[in-house]
């Protein structure tokens, strides 16, 4: 799976949660690097933040869905000054398969991820 998040602490935390759940994890600090990784590995799942430098999450989601609409994408956001609801609604309207507002617990994001991956998945 691919995790795209500019907050390095959260990125490492997410990578740890998913690895503990049995996932092979690749990470990226922004949408530009995330899209390059996506092109190389075509992950089973993408988790991406919305507000990031270089290439924000909405643009990244649209580009990924344009390349391969079958890869599920989970958008995450704290929303900054506007709040998460508007950004996550926009992400869902433009291609994300699920959305989750920050902060969240490990069991929440792993459950949403497992749902996106379908019944064959262990935890995510």
CATH assignment at residue 39: 3.40.50.2300
Determine how many CB atoms are found less than 10 A away from the CB of residue 100.
Answer: 19
Q: Please, which pLDDT band fits residue 84 given cuts at 50, 70 and 90?
A: low
Q: What is the mean pLDDT of residues 13-17?
A: 98
- Name the residue range of residue 36's domain: 2-43+68-115
Q: What is the largest CA-CA distance in the chain?
A: 38
Structural domain includes residue 50: no
Residue 39 belongs to some domain of the structure = yes
Tally of structural domains, the chain: 1
In-domain check, residue 24? yes
Given a contact cutoff of 8 angstroms between Cβ atoms, the answer to whether 32 and 55 are in contact is yes
What is the percentage of the chain residues whose pLDDT exceeds 70?
Answer: 90
């Amino acid at each position: 799976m691919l995790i795209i998040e500019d907050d390095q602490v959260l990125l490492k935390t997410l990578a740890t949660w998913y690895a503990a759940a049995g996932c092979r994890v690749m990470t990226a600090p922004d949408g530009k690097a995330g899209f390059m990784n996506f092109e190389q590995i075509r992950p089973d799942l993408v988790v991406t933040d919305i507000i990031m430098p270089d290439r924000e999450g909405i643009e990244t989601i649209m580009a990924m869905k344009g390349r391969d609409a079958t890869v599920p994408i989970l958008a995450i956001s704290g929303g900054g000054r506007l709040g998460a609801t508007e950004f996550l609604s926009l992400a869902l309207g433009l291609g994300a398969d699920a959305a989750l507002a920050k902060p969240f617990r490990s069991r929440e994001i792993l459950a949403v991820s497992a749902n996106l991956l379908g019944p064959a998945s262990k935890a995510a």
